[in-house]
Amino acid sequence: MRIALFEPEIAGNVGAILRLGACFGAAVDLIEPMGFEWDDRRVRRTAMDYIDHVSITRHADFDAFRAAIGPRRLVLFTTKSRESAYDFRFMADDVLFFGKESAGVPAAIADSCPAKVRIPMRPQVRSMNLATSAALALGEALRQTGTLPS
């Protein structure tokens, strides 16, 4: 299982997701440009030494990322989907794909994703924090595919 972040803007979110990837054995793809310098100390402050235990790939843009992941299925997490992530059937080599904090992903990129799912929330709120949604998504995808660490 991989986690991919489209043009993340907040260093602390990326650090938290790198730590998540380290804890669960999920590789992390970062699609540039990002809203901060890669050596921003806020990344390491949240990822800490877990950063040494996660596979990280940085991609120049979405097209480079798409070419690099090959035939793996891209599952976009978006509040705009009607399909619940809890009803969706994940596969062990899926790429769990998340949008940027301010705007998600552009419509053309969303349209190119073969699967789009949402994490159900109360109707009076807009969205979850990026790292929080990645944690819930990864936990469910690993649970379904029987690939949670023991």
Ligand X SMILES: C[S@@+](CC[C@H](N)C(=O)[O-])C[C@H]1O[C@@H](n2cnc3c(N)ncnc32)[C@H](O)[C@@H]1O
Q: Is 35 in the site for ligand X (CB under 6 A)?
A: no
Among residues 47, 124, 102, 108, which one has the least CA distance to residue 76? 108
- Using the rule CB under 6 A, which residue among 10, 19, 78, 115 binds ligand X? 78
Q: Is 79 in the site for ligand X (CB under 6 A)?
A: yes
Q: Is 9 in the site for ligand X (CB under 6 A)?
A: no
Spatial contact of 80 and 110, defined as CB atoms under 8 Å apart: yes
Tell me: is residue 25 an annotated ligand-binding position.
no
Identity of the residue, 40 or 101, whose beta carbon is nearer to ligand X in the bound complex: 101
Q: Is 22 in the site for ligand X (CB under 6 A)?
A: no
Tell me: is residue 99 an annotated ligand-binding position.
yes
Identity of the residue, 127 or 144, whose beta carbon is nearer to ligand X in the bound complex: 127
Among residues 93, 103, 97, 94, which one has the least CA distance to residue 127? 103
CA distance linking residue 96 with residue 117, whole number of Å: 10
Identity of the residue, 53 or 112, whose beta carbon is nearer to ligand X in the bound complex: 112
Residues 92-121 that bind ligand X (CB under 6 A): 98-99, 101, 103-104, 118-119, 121
